[in-house]
Structure 1
Amino acid sequence: MSEQNTMTTEIDRTDLVVDAELVPAQHAIGGGAVEAYDPAAAAVLAALEQGADEHIAAVRPRKTKVSYARDWTLWTEFHTWLAGRTGTMLPLTAVTKGTIVGFTVWLDEVKQAAPTTIDRRITGVTVTACSKGATVPKEATLAARQLVKRFRNDPARMARGRGKAVPMTPAHIKAMNTADRIVPKKPGSRRRRREYAVPELARLRDRSASSMRFGIAGRNEEVSALDDTGIKLIAEGLDVHVPSVKGRPPRDVIVYYGEHPDTCPVRCWLAWQQAKLAAGAAPGGPAYLPVDQWGHLGTQRLSPDGCGRAITRAAQQAGVDAHLTGHSGRRGLVNTGRKRGKRVEKLRAQGGWSPKSPVFWEYVDDADRTEDAATDGIGL
C-alpha cells in the first residue's frame, strides 16, 4: 500500500473537531473523504504542532513547571512500586484507565495524600504525558476523578491537607501592622542575637502588602505582579490595576480609604511608597520589593512565595492566633464584606472570581452561615 493510501486510511479512522464537537470522519461537513496531506504540508503542520507545544511550555509559570515535575517523579515512583509487585516495568507513557486509577489509589493509600493534592497530581501527570507524545483517554481521567470525588466525602482524608484558608480580618491586619518591631529569639533558633529588630522598611512594606492584599482580595501572584504605575491615587482612595496572572483576566478595582490609619490600605501604601523611593527604588517599578534582614532594599520584584511568606511571618511575629496564608486575604474580604452587608456581585468583581466559581460561593456560604439563621428569632 502506498504512503498516500496509508495516510488516507488512518485519517478515515479518526474523529474530526467541528465547532468544538467531536464527530466521526464519515459524518463530517460535506460527507466526503478527508483530503490527505502531502508530505510538505504534513511537515509544516508537524513543525507548527511542535512550536505550539514549546510556546505553551515556555509561558507556563515556573511554579507550575516545578509542580508538574514533582508529579512526574511520583508517577515514576508509582511505576517502580508497581513493577516490584508485578515483575514488569510498564512504560511511563502508558497512561490508561488502569494505571491512572492505580496511581490515584497509591497516592491515597501509600502516600496518604489529600484529595485536593491527588486531583492536582492527576493533572500534572496527564499534561506531562501528553507533552511526551502519549495519548490519555478521557475515560481514564474521568474514572480517577470520580474516585477523588468519593475521597472528598471522607473527613479523615480531607484532614490530611492544609484545610481551608483562615479568613483574614481587619483585627488581624491591625495586630500585624501595630506589632512591636522587636522580635524575641525563638526557642531552638540558631540566631546569636536574643532579639531581632524588624527593619523599618520591611515593616512598612508588610503593612502595605497585608492591607492591599485584603483590599483587592489578591492572590500571592497578583500582589507580586502589582506595579507602581498601576496604583493611582484618586479622591476615594486607590485605583488599582491587578495584572493578569496564570491566564486569568486582569481587573481594575477601587480600594477606599480605611476607617483606621493602621489598617487603611491607602495610607499604608503611601507610607511604603515614600519610604521605598527614599531608599533608592526606581519610580514606576514593581509595587513590592524584597528587604533583607539589615534593611537593604532589593531591586527585583518580590516573588509570589515571598508575598505569602511575608504575611505568614508578620502574623507569627504579631502573635496572631491563626495561620494566615496567601488565600486568607481573599477569603477574608468575602467573609468580612458579607457580614457588613456588601453585595455578592461587588465582592466577586473585587477578587476577580468567575460567576460560577465554586470557591467563591463556598466563601459566601461560610460567611452567611451565621447570618439570619433558621432558628434565629423564631420564638424558641
Structure 2
Amino acid sequence: MTVVDGARGTELEPVEVVDAELMDDDVPAVGEAAVPDPVAAVLAALDTDAKDHLNRIRPKKTRDGYAQDWEKWRAFHAWLAAKTGVPLPLSSITVGTFVSFVTYLDQVVEAPPNTIERRITGVTSEVRSRGYTVPKEATEAARRALKPLKLDENRMKRGRGKGAAIAPADLRTMAEAPRERQPQPTARTRRVFVVPEVARLRDQALNSLKLAVAGRNEEMSVLDDAHVQVVDEGLKVYVPSVKGRPPRTVPVTYGENRATCPVRCWRAWQEAKLAAGADPEGPALLSVDQWGHLGNTRLSPDGVGRALARCAKYAGLTGRRITGHSARRGSVTTGIKKGKRVDKLRRQGGWSANSPVFWEYVDEGTMFEDAPTEGIGF
C-alpha cells in the first residue's frame, strides 16, 4: 500500500499493514532465541520417569526374558548383515524384517513355535521401550508367518510341550507311593533315599492346595500362612498378586480322601511346621533338605514346580509330562467333567474372561460330552 504525503504531494515508501489481532506474542522476533516451553519440558520429564518406573516394576523374570529376546534380535541382524552386506539399524521394524526374523528363528535357530511367538512379543516390547514405533502390520505379518509353523507336529516337538493335566486320582497315587526311592542303575552310591516325613507332608499340602486353587508356581511361592484361613467349610485362601495379575480370594472345601484333602493336608503340614519351630506368620511353604531339616526360606517358584514333578516321578506317573502347570490345567478339566460352572472355575484360577488357554482347558474337559460318536448306532 502506498502512502501520499499530503503536505508535499510526494509518495512515501510502501508500508506493510498487519492486523494486530493476528500477531502471536509467543513468536520470537527475528534474531531472538526461542524460550523453552516449561509445560513441554515437564511433560517430557514425566514421560521419561513413567517409562523407567514401569520397567522397574516389571517382574524380573519378564525383564530377563525380554533381554534374551533382544539378544536374539541382535543376532538376527548380525546374520542378516552377513548375508546382505548391509547392516540395518535395530529399530528397523517392518513387515520384511519381522517375517524374516520368524524364518531365521525357525530355520537357523530351530526354535519351537511357542518360543518364536514369545520372541516376537519381547522384541516388540523392547523396541517400543527404546522410543521406536512398531507398525501393527509388521506384528500381524509375523504372526501369520508363524501360524503354519504351530500346525507342524515336528516343529512343536522342538519344545518341551505342554504339561499334562492331573486329577485328584493322580494326587492319591502320589500320596500312596512308597516313600523310598531306589537308586538309579548308574548311581555311584547304592543306598536307598527315603523322603523325609516333613517333606512328604509339605508336598501333599502343596500339591493338593495347588490343584484346589489352580495356583501358578509364583502364586504358591509367595503364599504366607496369613493368606490361608481355616474356616468351618474348609479354607479361605487369599492368592496374592503376581506379575501384575489381580489377587483373588477363593474357597477350598474338604475332600473325600484324607491323603488328598487339601484342608486336612494343609493342617497336618502346619502342625509339623510349627512343631519344627517355624514362624507362624511366615511363608506358607518352606524348603526342606534331604535329611528332613526345615529351612527358613520360602519355596521358590521353580521349587514349587519341581516338587509336583518329583512326586509324580516317584509315583511312577511317567507316561505324561507333568509339570508345575499340570495342576492348573487339571483343575479346569476335572471341574468341567464334574459339572462345575465355567465362570466359577475361571475365577478360582484367576483367568481373564477372554483367556484362550482357559477355554482350551474347557474344551479339553468337555471333549467326550455329547461326543459325535455317542449313541449313533456303533
* Both proteins in one fold, TM over 0.5: yes
2:307 to 305, 310, 317: 310
Aligned twin of 1:59:
57
Q: Distance in 1 between matches of 2:201 and 2:51?
A: 43
Which one of the candidate residues 143, 146, 162 is aligned to 2:144?
A: 146
Give the match for residue 22 of structure 1.
none
Query: Equivalent of 1:44, from 25, 42, 51?
Result: 42
Distance change (3 Å), C-alpha of 1:41 and 1:188: farther
Give the SS at the match of 1:207.
helix
Name the structure 1 match of 2:367. Answer: 369
Question: For residue 209 of structure 1, what is the aligned residue in structure 2?
Answer: 206
Preserved contact between residue 338 and residue 364 of structure 1 (Cα < 8 Å): yes
Whichever residue aligns with residue 271 of structure 1, its letter is A
The answer to whether the Cα contact below 8 Å between 1:315 and 1:323 also exists between their aligned partners in 2 is no
Residue 295 of structure 1 aligns to a residue in which SS? coil
Return the alpha-carbon distance in structure 1 between the equivalents of residues 309 and 260 of structure 2.
17
Match of 2:260 in 1: 263
**1:228–1:286 CA contact under 8 A, matched in 2:** yes
Q: 3-state DSSP class of the match of 1:298? A: strand
Q: Structure 2: give runs of 5+ residues left out of the alignment.
A: 1-25, 28-33
SS at match of 1:255: strand
| CA deviation profile, 1:209-249 (whole Å, cap 9, x unmatched) | 10001000111111112221111111111111111111211
2:89 partner letter = P
Q: What's the TM-score once normalised by structure 1's chain length?
A: 0.86
RMSD value, Cα: 2.0
CA gap 1:356/1:131 in 2 versus in 1, 3 angstroms: closer
Q: CA deviation at 1:339?
A: 1.7
Please state how far the C-alpha of 1:38 moved relative to its aligned partner: 4.4
Spell out, residue by residue over 1:77-117, the C-alpha distance to the aligned partner (whole angstroms, 9 max, x if none): 11111121112332223233222221111111112222221
Partner of 1:195: 192
CA distance in 2, matches of 1:247, 1:281: 30
Q: Which moved more, 1:75-84 or 1:213-222?
A: 75-84
Q: Is the alpha carbon distance of 1:46 and 1:186 closer, same or farther for their aligned partners in structure 2, counting shifts above 3 Å?
A: farther
User: Which residue type is aligned with residue 297 of structure 1?
Assistant: L
Bigger drift between 195-204 and 302-311 goes to 195-204
Question: Residues 6-26 of structure 1: CA distance to partner in whole angstroms, max 9, x if unpaired?
Answer: xxxxxxxxxxxxxxxxxxxxx
Matches within 5 A, 1:1-380: 38-189=36-187, 192=189, 194-321=191-318, 322-380=320-378
Q: Give identity over the alignment, percent.
A: 57
Q: Could you tell me which amino acid in structure 2 is paired with residue 339 of structure 1?
A: K
How far 1:193 moved relative to its partner? Answer: 5.1
Q: Distance in 2 between matches of 1:82 and 1:312?
A: 41
Count of residues in Structure 1 that have an aligned counterpart in Structure 2: 346
- 1:323, 1:363 → 2: CA distance? 16
Residues 256-298 of structure 1, C-alpha deviations (whole Å, 9 max, x = no match) = 1110000100111011111112222211222111112232222
TM-score normalised by the chain length of structure 2: 0.86
CA distance in 1, matches of 2:124, 2:109: 19
Unaligned 5+ runs, structure 1:
6-35
Report the equivalent of 2:23: none
Query: Deviation string for 1:13-51 (max 9, x for gaps)?
Result: xxxxxxxxxxxxxxxxxxxxxxx9943223322221221
Give the deviation of 1:149 after TM superposition.
2.4
Q: Deviations over 1:102-149 (max 9, x none)?
A: 111111111222222111111111111222233222221121112122
Q: Which range is displaced more, 291-300 or 115-124? A: 291-300
Seen in structure 2, the aligned counterparts of structure 1 residues 37 and 243 have a Cα distance that, compared at 3 Å, is: farther
Counterpart CA distance in 2 for 1:84 and 1:195 is 56
Matches of 1:97 and 1:50, distance apart in 2: 29
Give the secondary-structure state (helix, strand or coil) at the position aligned to 1:206. helix
> Which range moves more in the overlay, 334-343 or 291-300?
291-300
Q: What amino acid maps onto 2:246 in structure 1?
A: P
Separation (CA, whole Å) in 2 of partners of 1:268 and 1:160 = 38
The whole-number CA distance in structure 2 between the counterparts of 1:315 and 1:292 is 19
Note closer, same or farther for the CA distance 1:37–1:45 as it changes in structure 2 (3 Å cut).
Answer: farther
Deviations 1:283-323 (A, max 9, x none): 12221111122322222221111111111111112211322
* 1:300 aligned counterpart, secondary structure: strand
Match for 1:198: what amino acid?
Answer: V
Instruction: Return the letter of the residue paired with 2:95.
Output: K
Amino acid aligned to 1:152:
K
Letter in 1 for 2:87: M
